[in-house]
A and B are shown apart, each in its own frame.
Chain A
Amino acid sequence: MLTRRQFIQHLLAMGVSATSLAAFLKACVPPVAAPTATPILPSPTFALPPTATAAASTTVPGSPQAPALPTPPPTSGEAYLAVARGDDPAELTRRAVKAIGGIERFVRPGQSVIIKPNICVAYHGPEYAATTNPQVVGALVALCLEAGASTVSAMDYPFGGTPEQAYKISQIGQAVSDAGGKMVVMSPIKFKSTEIPTGKDIRNWVVFQDALKADVIIDVPIAKHHNLTRLTLAAKNMMGLVENRPSLHSNLGERLVDLATLFKPKLIVVDAYRMLMTHGPTGGDLNDVRLMKTVIASHDIVAADAYATTLFGLKPEQIAYVKAGAARGLGTMDLQSIKIEEISV
């Protein structure tokens, strides 16, 4: 039996050790900046995409300066943007990347690479064009490994269905492991509130930390329809790396650019082999799919998206995030001003 004295002693000892443990743990945690409230409603500077032309292109006073491009433009010879057309998605990918300077321009030996395809749902196979073409992803994994990357992992966080199932149904899981890469399920503990210093509308969001640690992010969207933004392309594809996605939708254009400035994808490969023309992003009807047999590659996320936009018969300035990205200096949507190499395979 415990005497009263012993009981109080035990209580004290436990209290002291618990407090010191808590203090230790707290000391180990890096100080976090006071969380800024994430706006649900549009900010005062919010401009609606199609009609408010002036508002979006003028820089708001006090807004952060234009973010530096993650990869500098090509220095000599290589194309700024490459478009490959032909029958074999894997070969199109290799040729397009080669034309803009080869994978060595983006991936150096020993670097860790995250490939981010669009695997937004676990509903349909790749022929429905809701998810990125597995052969495009597989070819990129192989290229990165050839360039000497230390690890090549691919991932997405589907909004419908489990990641495991989505990886299987999209056939991307198989393609990635066949090519020697690692298909990763994004663990919930790795999502953390993160400051976006270059953010204009959002300065803070909960994002996947491993994506910030990776040396290289390769953004591999499939070109498809989406009602709010009209098209889902490379900038929109970065949404798979963040949490609380429904809340992004007000003022999505600006916010997607904010996210792109955080993740800084070094290489953009837009899969337009099959394009989903309507009922995106989920698809499900083969009549909505157009076989375009095209792959676009560039270091410039705005230019890549701008070019993909033209494949749908739309103008780059009709896509809010392309326009916002160009206005903020993330890249160029002026396709006349850049060197585009068109390849037939």
Chain B
Amino acid sequence: MRRARQVTQITALLVFMALLLATGGGQFPAAPPSLFFKLDPLAMLTSIIAKRQWVSGVAMGGVTLLATLALGRAWCGWVCPLGTALDLFRPRNPSRLKATRLERWRAVKYILLIGALGAALAANLTLLALDPISILTRGLATFLPGLNRILLSAERALYNIEPLQSAIDWFELAVRAPLFSADVWRWWNTLPSLLLVGVVALNTVAERFWCRYLCPLGGLLGLISRVAIVRRVVSQAACRHCARCARACPTATIDPNKNYASDPAECTVCLDCLPACPSASGQSFSPVWQVSPTQEYDPSRRQAISALGAGLAAAAVYPLLPAELRRQPQLIRPPGAQPAHADGDNEFLSACIRCGECIKVCPTSGLQPALLEAGLDGWWTPTLIPRLGYCDYSCHACGQVCPTGAIPNLPLEAKRAAVMGKAELDRARCLPWRDNTPCIVCEEMCPLAPKAVEVDTFYITDPTGQMIEIQRPHVIPDRCIGCGICEFKCPVEGPAAIQVTGKHF
């Protein structure tokens, strides 16, 4: 059984990694993109609550819920790629007996879950940044460009050594180019990756610390597991009180003081306790038709209501914060995403689970996770930073991989017409305007037909008294879609002479 579980876990992790690595450069696996987010009932549930709309593929999350109803938190022990990653980085000699001083922390995952649901009721999904699939996807999506940069500079350095060139050519074609597309990396991209590293590092405090104490998805599946059909049952007659099952349990939920009973809300159905038991019929996983007893660490009704209220209140009170702490409407959101309303309402933020899929797929790396520039509740939501990368006129991948429809899945023609912002020209910085240096790069780059940047020819007298002819660009705002390629390519050093400002109502 242990072998079967490990094979399942590794398979799921490999599928996850393959899907993630195949997502990039505007390309993504045909079916189904964002599979694990669709299977994640927390992501699906909170986004339909916050969006007040159905999300396509939500039924797949329902499948996970039904499986949990039948088998308990088997998702956590058998499928969840973050859980598998934690198992891979398991402490060498885990102390698996109950760490009593930490028992109270088991409530945190429920508090986070209820807080996230409360905030979702108030149309806010900020806490989804703590969804486990989100943590893993976003952590890797923002870390891999950094790794790519390291590989690239290593390749460049070694490429100078003649005998190594063919080997590097092979590596470049077979490994780096197919697996890594993005190479834009900012220092605060380390934060999502650091969260992932932190989650793994907590394993040294207690095995599967994240799953036991913090995971809001674990909390949701744990709640359902209380009425799950198949549960671990200890046969009091056959039990020899040897405590080997307790020592084998990675979530330390088998309590020697309670006749080795376990809390189904904590059990990940890993089945490691079965072979540990010296007695053939000491324990089994069999149908139980009653609600599991409450545990001392379960949140009280008062705590649960407080968490719900806090989630609701935090989201509801948000518009009262000082304007500079609120979401900034000049941010450029992915194509088709709803722009922010002046009053702070924001359908995009109410649907974005901060998963990082769009950031991973963006072929130019223009999409980057916001830190605080999108407001306190907008952290790690995607924004286009044209100086780092533009929105490719031929690409509509972000809408196709978005698991919740926060970025609508637009056909290419509709995406090409979707306005993300407007370009504005700064004549004080623009080369032909400021010092008669010929340059029409913004006009040349504009992908539209007719172009949103046009040039006029001026005949002027230069400082030496000579009559010269110079082309100077100007923007036609009604045509501009805000793709940002003009800002990206502008040769002016420092801030571009043409800049895109996000669309807002």
Listed in ascending order, the chain A residues whose CB lies under 8 Å from chain B are 25, 28-30, 40-42, 48-52, 121-123, 159-162, 164-165, 169, 185, 187-190, 226-228, 246-247, 249-252, 279, 281-285, 288
Q: How far is the CA of A50 from the CA of B471 in the complex (A)?
A: 12
* A226-B466 Cα distance, complex, nearest whole Å: 25
CB distance from B413 to the nearest CB of A (A): 12
Which residues of A lie under 8 Å from residue B490 when comparing CB positions? 246
Map CB proximity to A onto B150-162 as digits: 1 under 8 Å, 0 otherwise. 0010011101111
Tell me, in angstroms, the Cα distance from A251 to B152 when the chains sit together: 32
Instruction: Give the interface segment out of B324-332, B374-382, B437-445.
Output: B437-445
Which of A42, A227, A246, A283 contacts B491 (CB under 8 A)?
A: A246
Given contacts A162-B363, A250-B431, A250-B438, contact A228 B444 (CB under 8 A): yes
- Tell me whether A285 and B449 are in contact in the complex, defined as CB-CB below 8 angstroms, given that A40-B491, A121-B393 are known contacts: yes
B437 CB contact (under 8 Å) in A42, A51, A226: A42
Closest 6 CB pairs of A and B: A284-B449, A246-B491, A285-B449, A29-B160, A122-B394, A28-B161
Q: Does B175 contact A (CB under 8 A)?
A: no
- Contact between A249 and B440 (Cβ–Cβ < 8 Å)? yes
What are the residues of chain B within 8 A of A187 when measuring CB–CB? 172-173, 177
What is the interface of chain A mostly: helix, strand, loop, or mixed? loop
Between B394, B445, B446, B490, the greatest number of chain A beta carbons within 10 A of the residue's beta carbon is seen for B394
Report which of A42, A164, A189, A226 forms a contact with B156, defined as CB distance below 8 A. A189
B279-293: CB near A (< 8 Å → 1, else 0) gives: 000000000000000
A164 touching B25 by the CB < 8 A rule? yes
How many Å lie between the Cα of A282 and that of B155 in the bound state?
33
B159 / chain A contacts, CB cutoff of 8 Å: 189-190
A49 CA to B468 CA, complexed, in Å: 9
A160 to B440, CA, bound (A): 16
- Bound form: Cα–Cα A49–B450 in Å: 26
Identify which of residues 131-161 in chain B touch chain A, using a CB-to-CB cut-off of 8 Å. Answer: 152, 155-157, 159-161
* Alpha-carbon gap, A247 to B489, bound state (A): 9
* Contact A283-B363, Cβ < 8 Å, known A189-B156, A250-B437: no
**Cβ of B455 < 8 Å from any Cβ of A?**
yes
Within 8 Å CB of A282, what residues of B? Answer: 444-447, 449, 451
Alpha-carbon distance A121/B490, docked complex (angstroms): 17
Contacts of B447 in A (CB 8 A): 121, 123, 160, 282, 284
| Tally of contacts, chain A with chain B, CB under 8 A | 120
A-contact 0/1 string along B203-216, CB 8 Å cutoff: 00000000000000
Q: How far does the Cβ of A152 sit from chain B's closest Cβ, in whole Å?
A: 18
Interface residues of B in 24-45 (CB under 8 A from A): 25-27
Instruction: Report the minimal beta-carbon distance from B185 to chain A, rounded to whole angstroms.
Output: 14
Name which of B363, B438, B441 has the most chain A CB atoms within 10 A of its CB.
Answer: B438
Q: A161, B392: Cβ atoms under 8 Å? A: yes
Contact partner of B394 (CB less than 8 A), chosen from A25, A42, A169, A228, is A169
Distance A190 CA – B489 CA, assembled complex (angstroms): 21
A246 touches B441 (CB 8 A): yes
Query: How far is the CB of A37 from the nearest CB of chain B, in Å?
Result: 13
Residues in B with CB closer than 8 Å to A247 are: 491
**Do residues A48 and B469 form an inter-chain contact, with CB atoms below 8 A?**
yes
Answer yes or no: B493 CB below 8 A from chain A CBs: yes
Q: How far is the CA of A84 from the CA of B159 in the complex (A)?
A: 43
Cα separation A189 to B490 with both chains bound (whole Å): 23
- A247 CA to B438 CA, complexed, in Å: 11
Q: Is the CB of B438 within 8 A of A185?
A: no
Task: Determine the chain A residues whose CB is within 8 A of the CB of B444 once the complex forms.
Answer: 226-228, 281-282
A251, B438: Cβ atoms under 8 Å?
A: yes
The residues of B that contact A161 with a CB separation of less than 8 Å are 26, 363, 392-395
* B451 contacts across to A, CB distance below 8 A: 279, 282
CB-defined interface of B336-375 with A at 8 Å, one 1/0 digit per residue? 0000000000000000000000000001000000000000
